[in-house]
């Protein structure tokens, strides 16, 4: 995010807490066990904190989000911000970098997922 406060729980928009009924897989960083959770429940816990059965704070991680869609389709504004902030865009732009060899692959090949990826 362009503003540091947007990455903090206080910066979460209310829509992030009420949207996204779809599920995602989260990883508990203490036990390394994966579990299914709705996206809304994850972001609610991100904003308000989550504790385990013993009252200890849980640190949950979502990897490769959104899982079913490309980031650029699901997070259009953030994708635009990401591309505007890339260093050396001729090399690093994921779709229009003329010196990025992955963008030069023929259309009939299996396209490489160049991201961006979100790790929350």
Helix-then-strand count for the chain, H and E: 5, 3
81 and 58, same domain (yes or no): no
| Band of pLDDT at residue 99, cut at 50, 70 and 90 | very high
Task: Note the pLDDT tens digit of each residue in 32-84.
Answer: 999 988 888 888 888 888 888 898 998 988 876 666 777 777 778 888 888 88
What CA–CA distance (Å, rounded) separates 78 from 103?
21
Q: Give the count of domains, the chain.
A: 2
- pTM, entire model: 0.53
13 and 41, same domain (yes or no): yes
Helix, strand, coil percentages (3-state) for the chain, rounded to 5, are 35, 15, 50
Which residue in 65, 30, 32 sits closest to 51, CA to CA? 30
Q: Which of 17, 38, 63 is the last residue before a domain boundary?
A: 63
Task: Note the pLDDT tens digit of each residue in 104-114.
Answer: 888 788 777 77
């Amino acid at each position: 995010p362009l503003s540091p406060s947007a990455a903090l729980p206080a910066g979460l928009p209310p829509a992030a807490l009420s949207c996204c009924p779809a599920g995602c897989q989260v990883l508990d960083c203490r036990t390394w066990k994966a579990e299914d959770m709705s996206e809304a429940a994850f972001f609610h816990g991100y904003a308000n904190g989550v504790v385990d059965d013993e009252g200890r704070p849980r640190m949950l991680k979502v990897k490769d989000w959104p899982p079913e869609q490309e980031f650029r389709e699901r997070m259009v504004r953030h994708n635009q911000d990401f591309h505007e902030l890339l260093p050396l865009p001729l090399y690093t732009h994921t779709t229009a970098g003329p010196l990025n060899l992955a963008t030069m692959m023929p259309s009939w090949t299996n396209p490489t997922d160049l991201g961006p990826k979100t790790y929350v």
